[in-house]
Structure 1
Amino acid sequence: MGVEIVGLGKCLPEKVVTNDDISDLVDTDHTWIIERTGIEQRHIAAGESGTDLACKAAEEALGNIDRDSIGLVLVATVTPDAMVPVTSAQVKMRLGLDHAVAFDINAACSGFMYGIWCAEALMKNGAAPGAGTMNIQRALVIGAERLSRITNWKERSSCILFGDGAGAAVLENNPKRPGILATYLKNYDDQKGVLTCGKEYHQTPFYKDENQPQHLALRGKAVFKFAVNSIEEVTMEALKQAGLELDDIDWFVPHQANGRIMEAAAKRLNQPIEKFQISINKSANVSSASIPMALYDLSKTGKMEKGDKIAVMGFGGGLCAAAAIIEW
């Protein structure tokens, strides 16, 4: 039994923030940003909530699919609108997905990949609670972020990188289609704190917690090295599981973290950059939303054909990385 992607959706906030706009905030310019990241602009939520973005992306992914057939809603995010209720529960309620079980996960920029892995496992091996013995026929997996809320807009090397948005995919059990051929996940210990974001809690009358600024912080060179190495490792392991070689892959869809990282990954894998979907120029790094958004962009080019093999690769804080091989 295969699990395939049958619907994709994407939502970006209306407000566009250009590199020139960023240069009004910190000492930088358009050329400096382009050369180091490949980013021309990013979208920033000025009125939309994370749940708004998630719902709009989900609605497009669902299209005319029967909403009663959705048995699972899974949202990957590091920037939920609230701790309770979780974003997936809000999406379920707003979209009237009455038969779905909903939960959120946080695996940083690999979140969508971890979500796909969870959804596939539940669809193949688990039943939906409250649904008797009925298996989950379809699942909705969303990556949704408002990274602008945890970006340090005074820190030049990081504030240029991030944006807001959401991407969604509908997965379906289909015994006649291969769909997801293999998935490989790996966690690495971040012993040096190369990619972190604190959490600001209220102080209690019993203990004074150490102040943890709720800003994304990264050590660029270390993140770059980790990203390129982990992309190679998880991609090769997923290919091994699928019984395929690199040259069998028609398209690569990596997490859109930095243009230089994708170029370096292409060289490491000895693959032409033309096989890599590059979306970062218009939307920047949107963490867990970047992969479904890039996959959506690739689908809209009309280049993908039925039967194409796609390698989808994520990496992020934790540290964590994941890859999936999908037959379109």
Structure 2
Amino acid sequence: MGVEIVGLGKCLPEKVVTNDDISDLVDTDHTWIIERTGIEQRHVATVETGVDLACGAGEEALRGIDRDSIGLVLVATVTPDAMVPVTSAQVKRRLGLENAVAFDINAACSGFMYGLWNAEALMKNGAMPGSNTMEIKRALVIGVERLSRITNWEERSSCILFGDGAGAAVLENRPGSSGILATYLKNYDDERGVLTCGKEYHKIPFWQDEIQPQHLALRGKAVFKFAVNSIEEVTMAALEKAGLTLDDIDWFVPHQANGRIMIAAAQRLNQPIEKFQISINKSANVSSASIPMALYDLSKTGKMEKGDKIAVMGFGGGLSAAAAIIEW
């Protein structure tokens, strides 16, 4: 039994924030940002909620698909609109996915990859408790972020990196097909705190906790080293599970964290950068949304053909990393 991607969607906020706009906030300029990140602009939600973005991407991914056949809605996010109800439950309700079980996960920038892995496993192992169907025929997996809400807009090295948006994929059980050939995930202990974000809670009279600022914080050089090393490790492990080599891969779709990271990863894997989907220039780093958004962008180029093999790679806080090999 194969689990294939049969629909993709993407949704971006209307407001575009250029590098020149960023230079009005901190001491930087367009050239400095481009040279260090490859980012030209990012989208920032001003009126759109996270649920709005998730549903926009989901609507597009579901185009032409029977909504009653969706048995699972899984949303990966680090920036939910609310703690309860979870984002997936709100998406399920708004999109009218009556037969679906819904839950959220948080694996930082690896979130979509962990969601893909969860969905595939559940689809291959039969019915979910509470599902009205005998098995999960189709699943909707979404990555959505409003990173602008946890970005420190006074910190030059980090505020240039992040944006908002959503990407979605519909997975389908197709007996006899290939689809997802192999997946490999790994967690690494972040002993030095190279990538963190605190959580602000209302203070209560009994607390002795220190206040944690709810801002993304990263140690750039350490993140760069981890990203390049982990991309190589999880990609090679996934390829080994699939019985393939790097030269069998037609397209690489990495997490869009930084243009320099993708160039370094291509060099480490000894693969031409032309085989890498690069979308960061127009949308920046959108954490768990970046991979499905980049997959969507690649699909719209018309370059992918039936039977192409794609390596999809994510890495992020935790620390976490994952790769999947997919036959299109």
CA distance in 1, matches of 2:212, 2:232: 33
1:244 CA drift (Å) = 0.1
Structure 1 position 64, deviation (Å): 1.2
Separation of aligned partners in 1, 2:61 and 2:31:
35
Question: Contact 2:58/2:169 (CA < 8 Å) preserved in 1?
Answer: yes
Deviation at 1:126, TM superposition (A): 3.4
Partner of 1:252 in structure 2? 252
Partner of 2:137: 137
Tell me the C-alpha RMSD between the 2 structures.
0.7
Please report how far the alpha carbon of residue 129 of structure 1 lies from its aligned counterpart in structure 2 after TM superposition.
2.1
Q: Secondary structure at the match of 2:212?
A: coil
Hey, what does 1:281 align to over in structure 2?
281
Q: Hey, what's the Cα distance between the residues in 1 that align with 2:206 and 2:77?
A: 31
1:149 alignment partner in structure 2: 149
Alpha-carbon deviation of 1:187?
Answer: 0.1
Q: CA deviation at 1:131?
A: 3.3
Which segment is superposed worse, 121-130 or 283-292? Answer: 121-130
Counterpart residue number, 1:232 = 232
Partner of 1:294: 294
Amino acid at match of 1:48: E
The Cα offsets for residues 103-132 of structure 1, whole Å up to 9 and x where unpaired, read as: 000000000000000000000013122336
SS in 2 for 1:45: coil
Equivalent residue, structure 2, for 1:8: 8
Task: Give the Cα–Cα distance (whole angstroms) in 1 for the partners of residues 178 and 55 of structure 2.
Answer: 28
> Which residue is equivalent to 1:319?
319
**1:206, distance to aligned residue in structure 2 (A):** 1.5
CA distance in 2, matches of 1:69, 1:196: 38
Query: Which amino acid is the alignment partner of residue 8 of structure 1?
Result: L
Give 1:208 shift: 2.6
Name the CA distance, whole Å, in 2 between partners of 1:177 and 1:119.
17
Q: Which amino acid aligns with 1:115?
A: G
Give the whole-Å Cα distance in 2 for the aligned partners of 1:195 and 1:211.
Answer: 18
Query: Where does residue 267 of structure 1 map in the other structure?
Result: 267
Q: Equivalent residue of 1:28, what SS?
A: coil
Identity, % of aligned pairs?
88
Measured in 1, the distance between the counterparts of 2:131 and 2:221 equals 49
2:97 equivalent in structure 1: 97
Q: Distance in 2 between matches of 1:176 and 1:238?
A: 21
1:81 lines up with 2:81 in the alignment: yes
Q: Comparing 206-215 with 163-172, which one deviates more in the overlay? A: 206-215
Cα deviation code 1:175-228 (max 9, x no counterpart): 131000000000000000000000001112212321100000000000000000
Letter in 2 for 1:31: T
Displacement over 3 Å in runs of 4+ = none
Q: Distance in 2 between matches of 1:132 and 1:308?
A: 35
The match for 1:71 is 71
* Secondary structure of residue in 2 paired with 1:72: strand
- Within 2, Cα distance between the matches of 1:66 and 1:193? 44
Equivalents in 2 of 1:271, 1:150: separation in Å?
35
What is the deviation of 1:133? 6.8
For residue 10 of structure 1, report the CA deviation from its aligned partner: 0.1
Aligned to 2:178: 178
Instruction: Give 2:29's aligned residue.
Output: 29
Q: What one-letter code is carried by the residue in structure 1 that aligns with 2:221?
A: K
1:135-184 C-alpha deviation (Å, 9 max, x unpaired)? 10000000000000000000000000000000000000001310000000
Q: Which runs of 5+ in 2 are unaligned?
A: none
- Structure 1: how far apart are the matches of 2:322 and 2:177? 23
Other structure's SS at 1:89 match: helix
Gaps of 5+ in 1: none
Structure 1 segment 209-228 matched on structure 2, within 5 A: 209-228=209-228
Q: What amino acid is the match of 1:75?
A: V
Structure 1: how far apart are the matches of 2:305 and 2:273? 19
Deviation at 1:69, TM superposition (A): 0.2
Query: Match of 1:65, SS?
Result: coil
Matched, 1:44 2:48: no
Checking the alignment, whether the CA contact within 8 Å between 2:100 and 2:131 is kept in structure 1 is no
Distance 2:133 2:256 in 1: 39
Partner SS for 1:55: helix
